[in-house]
Structure 1
Amino acid sequence: MLLALLAAVTAVTTAAAPAQAAGYRYWSFWDLTDGAWTYANQGPSIARPGDGDVQGFRFAVSENSQDAAKPRGPHDFAAICGATDARDGSKRVALVVDFGTRADATGGENPPAPRTACARVAEDATSAEALASVAEPLRYDSNALLCAIDGYPRTGCGEQVSGDTPGTSGDTGTASGDAADADSGGPSAGVYAGIAAVVLLAAAALWQSRRRR
């Protein structure tokens, strides 16, 4: 009887255990601050960088901004924009575009290699306008979420992927906009309900065994 109850407990807790958190496949948006990438607190269609700023975009699968993968490769303003002279009435924005890895690609696409570009744009231009000047075509969804840079990926936009889907490993940092954070928390209500049911069964079995005596 005891072994049967233990087996029941194992079966219930295993079946009710929460699945691995799902992630989202999207372009994240970054600012370079004191030489380190920080997740941007504004979307590229709102942010207005200044002359000399460095911004990055990274395509990857991640659960939320805390585990989002950072852009890879060179990110020094002088190295990216050193050959672009400053001009009155315009600004220079260094951009790092990282198309991610094949593990994060949509539908088996082969991501292009990461690249950099120096965007010379009007002084009041947004980050999205700076990006459009060097990496068209861009694709957005109906909610103004950035879906594709330079046509990559061809399809999809911030879609949820299974928690079992391998994501990006290595450096870490949703969408240039904001994909919803995956839920996190303690054991599910189903786990507690299952354990309670097993406890009741055990009590009933013990009561019956005492009656037989």
Structure 2
Amino acid sequence: MARLLLVVVVGLFAALGAVPAQAADGYRYWSFWQRGGDGGSWAYATQGPSSARPDDGDMIGFRFAVSEDSNDATRPRGMADFAAVCADTPATDGTKRVAVVIDFGTAADAADHRTPPAPRTECARVGADASAGEALAAVAKPLRYNSAALLCAISGYPESGCGDKMSGSVDAHAAPKGDGGDGKADGDGASGGPSAGLIGGLAAVVLLGAAAVWQARRRRA
């Protein structure tokens, strides 16, 4: 009976989520985003910076953070639109202007947990057929890529590493990601631990089980 009670209690904890799941792997990298010049929400780019061809008046964004995948990636912060970023850069024939937002992330995202450079915006004037990568290079050198053409560093940040895998990256995901601007918010503010109601319910199960064990022993006596 005691063994059965233990199995029931453990099963309830697992079913109700009181037993913590194994932390998922994350990757520390620069994510690439796009949005229209008139504002709106950032959209995760479906092409790499070397392939995407923004139009005159478009915005591109880059955010350094620890993420599991594109669904978990954190958007660049800041609400500046194209008009604000490129206000001092007039249009000229044969070129296009692209607003570039560069967000170096937070200390929680940095490998050494030091405070990174502040986010910044730049207006890139490039050729009419220039890629997003060329627009970024025009305003944020030096860039660093790996052998697979993955963007590893913008303006020399970070100094080393490229898409590093963070096994069980609990510390990175515990830090708020929606800290200003329109970055992605973190859930609904729940702590992730068992609630008082859940603990009370499990305690009741334990008491009922203990009573059953006592009754069984009494009958045998």
Tell whether the structures are fold-level matches, with TM greater than 0.5: yes
* Residues 1:44 and 2:49 aligned together: yes
What is the Cα deviation at residue 74 of structure 1? 3.3
Q: Distance in 2 between matches of 1:96 and 1:166?
A: 22
**Which sections of structure 1, spanning at least 5 residues, go unmatched?**
174-213
1:165 alignment partner, one of 171, 178, 181: 171
Amino acid at match of 1:95: V
**What residue is the counterpart of 2:25 in the other structure?**
22
For residue 170 of structure 2, what is the amino acid of its counterpart?
D
With a CA cutoff of 8 Å and minimum separation of 6, indicate the structure with the bigger relative contact order: 1
Q: Which amino acid aligns with 1:145?
A: L
Aligned-pair distance for 1:64? 1.4
Distance in structure 1 (CA, Å) of the matches to 2:90 and 2:20: 59
Instruction: Determine whether 1:96 maps to 2:95.
Output: no
**Corresponding residue for residue 132 of structure 2:** 127
Question: Is 1:3 matched up with 2:2?
Answer: yes
Query: Match of 1:163, as an amino acid?
Result: S
The residue that corresponds to 1:194 in the other structure is none
Query: Runs ≥4 in structure 1, deviation > 6 angstroms?
Result: none
**Does 2:151 correspond to 1:152?**
no
Alpha-carbon distance, 1:8 to partner: 6.0
Q: In the alignment, is residue 137 of structure 1 matched against residue 161 of structure 2?
A: no
Superimposed CA distance per residue, residues 159-182 of structure 1 (whole angstroms, 9 cap, x where no aligned partner): 111232323522328xxxxxxxxx
Deviation at 1:116, TM superposition (A): 0.1
Report the number of matched residues.
170
Instruction: Say whether residues 1:64 and 2:39 are aligned partners.
Output: no
Give the Cα separation in 2 of the matches to 1:75 and 1:148. Answer: 23
Deviation at 1:5, TM superposition (A): 4.5
Aligned partners of 1:126, 1:75: CA distance in 2, in Å?
22
Q: Deviations over 1:102-150 (max 9, x none)?
A: 0011123421000000000111111001101100111111100001100
Unaligned runs of 5+ in 2: 186-221
Corresponding residue number in structure 2 for 1:31: 34
SS in 2 for 1:102: coil
* Contact 1:55 1:95 (8 Å CA) reproduced: yes
CA 1:5–1:109 in structure 2 vs 1: closer, same or farther (change >3 Å)? same
C-alpha deviations, 1:78-123, integer Å up to 9, x for none? 1000110111111100000000000011123421000000000111
Instruction: Tell me how far apart the structure 1 counterparts of residues 41 and 152 of structure 2 sit (CA, whole Å).
Output: 25
Name the SS of the counterpart of 1:131 in structure 2.
helix
Q: How far, CA to CA, are the matches of 2:94 and 2:172 in structure 1?
A: 46
Over the matched positions of the two proteins, sequence identity in percent amounts to 57
Aligned to 2:212: none
Aligned residue in 2 for 1:74? 79
Could you tell me how far 1:17 is from its partner in structure 2? 7.0
How far apart, CA to CA, are the structure 2 residues paired with 1:136 and 1:17? 43
Rounded Cα–Cα distance in structure 2 between residues aligned with 1:62 and 1:108? 16
> Secondary structure of the residue that 1:59 maps to in structure 2?
strand
- Relative to the length of structure 1, the TM-score reads 0.73
